[in-house]
Structure 1
Amino acid sequence: MELQHTSLKDCFVLKPKVFQDERGLFYETYNQKMFEKVAGFSIDFVQDNQSISSKGVLRGLHFQNGKMSQAKLVRVVKGKVLDIVVDIRKDSETFGKSFSIMLDDVENLQLFVPRGFAHGFITLSEQSIFSYKCDNYYDKASESGIIYNDATLALDWYLPKEEFIISAKDLELPTFEEAVS
């Protein structure tokens, strides 16, 4: 497993060691000892989630507040997504900055999203299976987010807006300024 730093403090990409031959391929999606070795800290993941989405489905930007904040290790099992994170930690040197990465079932990269980040993705392939581990349980009362088209963040979601499929709930999310105030 190889760690690649991103432009955001504490957010990084993990590249697995892939073993491939005529039968196909194999790689570890998570190994606690290797994670601790390359990341320099330990984490206890308590929940594993998966979503299946068709092309154009935009999920996010989501986060949980306070003591229910979550760190996530995200990956794509099938397909291709554009994954975006935004640092919403007011005391961070990268507060208000975003990072995006293509995650797919070819490179098998994983993104570590620290606590205090808003997170979302859009499916670019005909279908995606998106998997993520969380270090805290989902708590509806702590749930929040940022509207996908926030003018302050000016995020590029890669697809034309007319191809987006967004839940009614995500269309009602606050702006970045409202979410962090």
Structure 2
Amino acid sequence: MNDPHYRYCRYEVEGPLLTLTIDRPEVLNAFHPDAHREFSDAFDRYAVDPGLRVAIVTGAGEKAFCAGTDLKALSTTGDHTKPRTGFAGITHRFELWKPLIAAVNGLCLGGGMEILAACDLGVAAAHAEFGLPEPRVGLAALGGGLLQRLPRQIGMKDAMALVLALSQ
């Protein structure tokens, strides 16, 4: 069943499985403030629902998992608001004990990498591409998932090498 009160987040439950789909394929599933709020709410619901045991996060379409921040919306509104739970409502959510799986089905850039790092497991399609384009637009990868979690998971030097390679 899909929850109709979300506009940018498909919330689909099948038994104990929740599938959250970033539903903005026209902008490569990039996030703006309303999308952040919807995903934060969706993760809140997942956390407290005893019937849900695992969640998969993916992107609508085949082109992109998530291209990060919607820079066009940001340049138009100047609004870079995110919930207290971080980018996509997940990167600052350290207390979530239920498993999250990222199903990367295309471009995974910037904030998409932050979402991936905040998940417990990532699975990528053969055509998936990864990158951190923030330096090219004068930003840093500070969404809370990648730079904070990656060094703890793979060690500081390996994390630094990976982040620098992805930033080229």
Same structural fold, with TM-score higher than 0.5 when normalized by the shorter chain: no
TM-score (norm 2): 0.36
Which structure's relative contact order is higher, taking Cα pairs within 8 Å and 6+ residues apart? 1
The structure richer in strand per residue is: 1
TM-score (norm 1): 0.34
